[in-house]
Structure 1
Amino acid sequence: MNNSRFHILVASVLGVGYIPKGSGTFGAIAACLCVIALNAIFPLQNEIYQATLIGLTITFFFLGRVSSAITEDIWGEDSSKIVIDEVVGQWLSLCLIPFTWTNVGLALLLFRLYDIFKPFNIRSFEKYDKGWGVMLDDVAAGVWANVTLQIILLLFNFYV
């Protein structure tokens, strides 16, 4: 497999980015499915689950940055086919959040809202080139989703 094919697979998350409508949402859903699988692998080992999720998030952030830069030369700037940024942002929204189906659903909803509407100056991260802008706006959306979910869980004192 040549180098660009590898980066196309990474950037499109094994082809999820080719879904014609809502590819970003499908990328975020794919990330949630990975989290569900990760929890199934480490069902009663929250520390290992969290450490693995954080490690994957960091690893795919940097790999996604490189893959985004390479595939932007092929597909154009911030193509809808690039969904690795949604995966990383979605994972980030779930880091240090206890695994429950409710929390995964809330994180998905919050992340997609922040990613689509880009409040809190999230859009300003898009100005960076070489794949950084593609990744950083979704990282910002993931951080805001995570902080919002942490606040909800603290205020309502539930980790359901």
Structure 2
Amino acid sequence: MNRAPASVWRNPVHFLAFGLGSGAAPWAPGTVGTLAAIPFFLLMQPLALPWYAAILLLTSVVGIYLCGKTSDDMGVHDHGGIVWDEFVGYWLTMFAAPPGWLWIIIGFVLFRLFDIIKPWPISWADKKVAGGLGIMLDDILAGLMALACLQLLALFL
């Protein structure tokens, strides 16, 4: 069972790293964190692609700090409750996705699949890259792989 530290509710950096508290879920915090990213995606979806891309870049860079700082403060590398990386990975998956709930669900499933299974190079990044960059990088790679699959599905369906 995942146990979130009390600082998640008091420290704004930890609160953001824990996906606005969604990472404090007692079971499957990564999945809950990805679900919590969906409402934000719905707000971002109508944006022009350059604005969406800018948000992805900004949230990725900020995420390196948030995740690294929270991990250092907790003394645990990539605590299961740190889910900002899932937020960004899901938003990356959904870049230029077709509209509709079917695609939101497909993107969710693809992202979670790549994030859980961690095929190469995701597994390499997860094991070899440390700090906030390491926490973010494996989910960014999972998001890129899920994005490629989602776009291929959209092309052929």
Determine the C-alpha separation between the residues in 2 that align with 1:155 and 1:68: 37
- The answer to whether the Cα contact below 8 Å between 1:72 and 1:78 also exists between their aligned partners in 2 is yes
Determine the C-alpha separation between the residues in 2 that align with 1:147 and 1:38: 19
Q: Counterpart of 2:3?
A: none
- Equivalenced residue count is 146
- The answer to whether the Cα contact below 8 Å between 2:125 and 2:134 also exists between their aligned partners in 1 is yes
Are residues 49 and 19 of structure 1, via their aligned partners in 2, closer, same or farther at CA, if it must alter by over 3 Å? farther
Output the amino acid matched with 2:138: D
Q: Counterpart of 1:72?
A: 71
- Could you give the per-residue CA deviations for residues 101-120 of structure 1, whole angstroms, max 9, x where no partner exists? 11111000000000000113
Q: Gaps (5+ residues) in structure 1?
A: 43-47
TM-superposed CA distance for 1:49, in Å, is: 4.5
TM-superposed CA distance for 1:53, in Å, is: 2.8
- What TM-score does the superposition give when structure 2 sets the normalisation length? 0.86
Q: Counterpart of 1:29?
A: 35
The 5 A counterparts of 1:138-157 are 138-156=139-157
Output the amino acid matched with 1:106: I
- The answer to whether the Cα contact below 8 Å between 1:35 and 1:53 also exists between their aligned partners in 2 is no
- The answer to whether the Cα contact below 8 Å between 2:22 and 2:32 also exists between their aligned partners in 1 is yes
The secondary structure found in structure 2 opposite 1:132 is helix
- Could you give the per-residue CA deviations for residues 31-77 of structure 1, whole angstroms, max 9, x where no partner exists? 112112334xx4xxxxx343343222211111110011111112211
- The answer to whether the Cα contact below 8 Å between 2:121 and 2:141 also exists between their aligned partners in 1 is no
Determine the C-alpha separation between the residues in 2 that align with 1:30 and 1:52: 21
TM-superposed CA distance for 1:121, in Å, is: 2.6
Determine the C-alpha separation between the residues in 2 that align with 1:26 and 1:56: 21
Output the amino acid matched with 2:15: L
Q: Counterpart of 1:13?
A: 19
RMSD (Å) for aligned C-alpha atoms: 1.6
Q: Counterpart of 1:136?
A: 137
Q: Counterpart of 1:88?
A: 88
- The answer to whether the Cα contact below 8 Å between 2:98 and 2:154 also exists between their aligned partners in 1 is no
Determine the C-alpha separation between the residues in 1 that align with 2:94 and 2:49: 9
The secondary structure found in structure 2 opposite 1:131 is helix
